[in-house]
Amino acid sequence: MTDVLTISDLQVSVADTPILKGVDIEIRPGEIHALMGPNGSGKSTLAYALAGHPLYEITGGQVMIDGEDLLEMDANQRARRGVFLAFQYPVTIPGVKVADFLRHAVSNIRNPGRKEGESLIPMREFRKELRSQMDQLGLDAEFARRYLNDGFSGGEKKRMEILQLAMLKPRFALLDETDSGLDSDAVRVVSEGLGELTGPEMGVLIITHHERLLEFNRPDYAHVMLAGRIVETGDADLAQELHANGYAAIRQRHPEAAAEEQDQEAQQVASTT
């Protein structure tokens, strides 16, 4: 099995509370998947679990890439396999400049045997590539000399995300756009940037509520999550229906999941009062 990222029956708990209760998604390069669902349904939990975040305990199921266990890999190995997680580098790294960060990341991916401290890709080659990608994104040269994410606006963070995608050219990209409070500039950056970067080489899973993003990047598959399960998978029309009508119809079609959602909310209220 090559060129496929397979999430099967994934179960994830946070602080011993089950959040994901068996999630299945299969992504191939060239496919755009949208993951939608009401607040608290578990979308970001899926993203954190795939990133190997220590708070998110995998209690069942598996995630395989090209037939190998993704969950056993460290961040570097995942990156070398061509998996990109948008919040994988969300942190501010004082003292590390955008260009240096990208040169290291690109060198790691293109030269898999490379050890820390070993040769990076040649500066001239790298500069040329970086320049051309930055021009395309409308970033001026100064941006590459700034410290990573330090004082970046929402729009600049998104440009950084898209710049990373453009430089790293992953096979699988997972973008969690829900909680970032994107303004319209940032939404445009992501929409247009993704629109340019997606193609037969890259598979994408976008977690989003933004209609604009999905208009620009029509999903081949739209998955709807409710109470930690994917209750429906459709195409762009399903995404459109959710934008137009919200989740009421979904809850009606899946009363058991809707009941679980209510239980979950009641428990949360109980535990915080």
* Among 1-9, 14-22, 24-32, 89-97, the segment contacting ligand ATP (CB under 6 A): 14-22
Could you tell me where the beta strands, DSSP code E, fall in 37-125?
56-65, 68-69, 83-85, 93-97
Instruction: Give whichever of 44 and 149 is closer to Mg ion, judged by the CB atom.
Output: 44
234 membership: H or E segment, kind and range: strand 229-234
Residue 154 tokens read as 């929402």
Cα distance between residue 147 and residue 160, in whole Å = 11
Cα distance between residue 3 and residue 252, in whole Å = 36
Residue 173 binding: pick among Mg ion, ligand ATP, none (C-beta 5-8 Å cut-off by kind): none
Residue 45 in the binding site for ligand ATP (CB under 6 A): yes
Contacts with Mg ion in 41-80 (CB under 5 A)? Answer: 43-44
Cα distance between residue 159 and residue 139, in whole Å = 8
Cα distance between residue 170 and residue 106, in whole Å = 11
Pairing mode, strands 5-14 and 56-65: antiparallel
Residue 40 binding: pick among ligand ATP, Mg ion, none (C-beta 5-8 Å cut-off by kind): ligand ATP
Figure out which of the listed residues 5, 7, 10, 19 binds ligand ATP, where binding follows CB under 6 A.
Answer: 19
Contact by Cβ (8 Å): 157, 127:
no
Contacts with ligand ATP in 48-77 (CB under 6 A)? Answer: 55
Residue 210 in the binding site for ligand ATP (CB under 6 A): no
Residue 39 in the binding site for ligand ATP (CB under 6 A): yes
Own/partner contacts of 129-133, CB < 8 Å, gap of 24 or more, are 129/167, 130/99, 130/102, 130/167, 133/163, 133/166, 133/167
Print the binding letters for residues 156-185 with ligand ATP: x by CB under 6 A, - otherwise: ----------------------xx------
Figure out which of the listed residues 29, 42, 193, 219 binds ligand ATP, where binding follows CB under 6 A.
Answer: 42
Figure out which of the listed residues 18, 40, 154, 155 binds ligand ATP, where binding follows CB under 6 A.
Answer: 40
Please report how close the Cβ of residue 234 comes to Mg ion at its closest, in angstroms: 21
- List, in order, residues 6 or more apart from 215 with CB less than 8 Å away: 191
Residue 263 in the binding site for ligand ATP (CB under 6 A): no
Residue 4 in the binding site for ligand ATP (CB under 6 A): no
Question: Which residue carries 């399960």 as its tokens?
Answer: 229
Figure out which of the listed residues 4, 6, 14, 60 binds ligand ATP, where binding follows CB under 6 A.
Answer: 14
Q: Which residues bind Mg ion (CB under 5 A)?
A: 43-44, 178-179
Q: Which residues bind ligand ATP (CB under 6 A)?
A: 14-15, 19, 37, 39-45, 55, 178-179
